[in-house]
Amino acid sequence: MLEKLREEVCRLHLELPKNNLVTWTSGNISGRDPETGLVVIKPSGIMYEDLTPENLVILDMKGKIVEGDLKPSSDTATHLYIYRHRSDVCGIVHTHSPFATAFAAVGKPILPFLTAICDEFGGPIPVGAFAPIGGEEIGREVIRSIGTSPGILMQNHGVFTVGKSAKAAAKAAVMVEDAARTVFYAYNLCKQLDSEPIPISPDMVARLHRRYKEEYGQ
């Protein structure tokens, strides 16, 4: 069932350790099949190198296991809550990627000081309030605070990204970490130079974002 989506979600998981976004078994990706509404997600506590398309778990939107012998990711409730409240989202990624999670630890958004941040996020990468793990609180806070950004930092926790596919959400997860790392270095450099990062005007942020969405790529 859902062979193609299983393969895509499995393959994308390997991008997480490759891009230094995860440690040990932390982090997870899911993809929703737009036709059936079924969700393919990582099983809980499985090493990345042991993931196969076959051992991923398929769930319906209420969390009932449709196919799979393993327990789904401990973040499943969050993924399903987001899918139920965002019909445009067919992929979700969760990581504790280190530079972005440092911003989450201090509860600060990543401001659009770089054209690449304007392109991908169209504004600041927001921070959602603290929410305990396990139930629907995280999902509710992601939906409340993410706005039109494809990524959000959850205070004291980590990163959630969304996209029209699992691949788009995975790309956003890589871009969140890249933005966090460069802005982190910029803040540090500013301390050395007694300076401030240079803001990009909201008009220009919107213009760059629009151009990227409409014109970039093949």
Complex with Zn ion: residue 76 or 118, whichever CB lies closer? 76
* SS3 state of residue 105: helix
CB of 162 to Zn ion, least distance (A): 15
Nearest to 118 by CA among 217, 202, 182: 202
Read off φ and ψ for residue 127, nearest 5 degrees: -115, 130
Q: In this structure, what token pair is assigned to residue 171?
A: 């790309």
Complex with Zn ion: residue 81 or 113, whichever CB lies closer? 81
CB of 10 to Zn ion, least distance (A): 20
Complex with Zn ion: residue 72 or 158, whichever CB lies closer? 158
Q: Closest residue (Cβ) to Zn ion?
A: 158
CB of 78 to Zn ion, least distance (A): 9
Per the CB < 8 A criterion, the answer to whether 172 and 120 are in contact is: yes
Bridge partners for 93 per DSSP:
29, 161
Per the CB < 8 A criterion, the answer to whether 80 and 59 are in contact is: yes
Complex with Zn ion: residue 9 or 114, whichever CB lies closer? 9
Bridge partners for 151 per DSSP:
161
Per the CB < 8 A criterion, the answer to whether 41 and 57 are in contact is: yes
Per the CB < 8 A criterion, the answer to whether 176 and 100 are in contact is: yes
Complex with Zn ion: residue 27 or 163, whichever CB lies closer? 27
CB of 157 to Zn ion, least distance (A): 6
Nearest to 172 by CA among 186, 157, 162: 162
CB of 155 to Zn ion, least distance (A): 12
Which residue ranges make up the site for Zn ion (CB under 5 A)? 158
CB of 26 to Zn ion, least distance (A): 6
Complex with Zn ion: residue 111 or 138, whichever CB lies closer? 138
